[in-house]
């Protein structure tokens, strides 16, 4: 199923719309972070969390984040429009691919899918703010123990990853997916995603995308990373099948 044409089309759609949504979502998160009591530390913490979630081109990401910090208050409305549009382009294919894996109906009503996509994107932003807060707390408590701060950042990023996978598996598919199945699938996906992260970084260094794409290398890397992550999402679902009787009853 992972190499089928249907899954390839859907995961490519997810990857493209991820790139469309990423920086507008980061802009909104930066704008919200600037209103927090620990706003001075929030930017650094957000960068650390972002580096755990996107484990390459850290200098380019840092520069993009600094640029977003300067323009966050002037582009919020436009960013929200892009998020609303792009989020449906992410979660509607996610719904279809998980229904394909778990035997749900083909798709929901159009507006229900868009509303759910926006709510899931909002949940992702809230989880990111939570991760930033946990990272700030870990760095504050670990001032005397730098290793604690580093492990705290990794732990908060892993927790956010697992929670996001869990919410996607539990809420997105129109299939009889209970909390227990969603938790198991999220665990499979989170562990596989961590392994894929290190393998991707190693392979990315060998591909030398800068030579082929020049200034577009970061965008291509992000699309490839989103494509691989979407395959991990499918993998987690395939490793945790839904009960056959529940699936038949749902149909």
Contact 107, 99 (CB under 8 A): yes
> Residue 14 and residue 10: Cα distance in Å, rounded?
6
Contact 123, 204 (CB under 8 A): no
DSSP 124-157: HHHHHHHHHHHHHHHHHHTSS-HHHHHHHHHHHH
Strand, helix or coil for residue 207: helix
More confident site: 3 or 152: 3
Record the tokens describing residue 36, joined without a space: 């927090």
Contact 18, 104 (CB under 8 A): no
Tell me how far CA of residue 182 lies from CA of 105, 115, 123, 156, 179, in angstroms.
18, 21, 16, 20, 5
The 10s digit of each residue's pLDDT in 42-88 is 667 777 777 778 878 878 877 877 777 776 666 777 777 778 777 87
DSSP 62-85: HHHHHHHHHHTTTSHHHHHHHHHH
More confident site: 95 or 151: 95
The 10s digit of each residue's pLDDT in 93-129 is 898 889 888 876 666 677 777 788 888 888 887 887 7
The vertex-61 CA angle with 59 and 62, nearest 5°, equals: 65
Region 137-152 average pLDDT: 61
Q: Model's pTM, two decimal places? A: 0.81
- Phi first, then psi: what are they for 106, rounded to 5°? -60, -50
Poorest-confidence range of 141-150, 192-201, 231-240? 141-150
The 10s digit of each residue's pLDDT in 189-231 is 999 998 898 899 888 888 888 888 888 888 899 999 999 999 9
> Residue 90 and residue 17: Cα distance in Å, rounded?
6
Indicate the DSSP class of residue 239.
Answer: T
> Residue 169 and residue 84: Cα distance in Å, rounded?
21
């Amino acid at each position: 199923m992972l190499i089928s044409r249907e899954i390839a089309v859907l995961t490519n759609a997810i990857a493209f719309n991820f790139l469309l949504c990423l920086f507008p979502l980061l802009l909104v998160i930066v704008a919200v972070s600037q209103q927090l009591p620990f706003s001075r530390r929030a930017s650094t913490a957000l960068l650390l969390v972002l580096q755990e979630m996107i484990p390459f081109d850290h200098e380019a990401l840092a520069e993009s984040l600094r640029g977003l910090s300067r323009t966050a208050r002037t582009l919020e409305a436009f960013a929200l429009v892009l998020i609303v549009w792009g989020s449906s382009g992410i979660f509607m294919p996610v719904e279809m691919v998980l229904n394909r894996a778990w035997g749900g109906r083909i798709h929901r009503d159009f507006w229900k899918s868009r509303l759910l996509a926006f709510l899931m994107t909002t949940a992702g932003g809230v989880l990111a703010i939570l991760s930033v807060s946990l990272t700030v707390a870990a760095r504050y408590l670990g001032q005397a123990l730098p290793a604690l701060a580093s492990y705290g950042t990794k732990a908060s990023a892993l927790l956010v990853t697992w929670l996001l996978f869990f919410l996607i598996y539990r809420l997105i598919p129109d299939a009889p997916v209970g909390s227990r199945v969603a938790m198991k699938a999220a665990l499979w996906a989170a562990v596989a995603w961590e392994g894929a992260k290190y393998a991707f970084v190693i392979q990315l260094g060998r591909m030398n995308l800068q030579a082929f794409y020049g200034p577009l290398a970061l965008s291509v890397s992000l699309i490839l990373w989103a494509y691989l992550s979407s395959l991990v999402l499918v993998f987690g679902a395939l490793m945790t099948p839904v009960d056959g009787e529940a699936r038949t009853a749902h149909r």
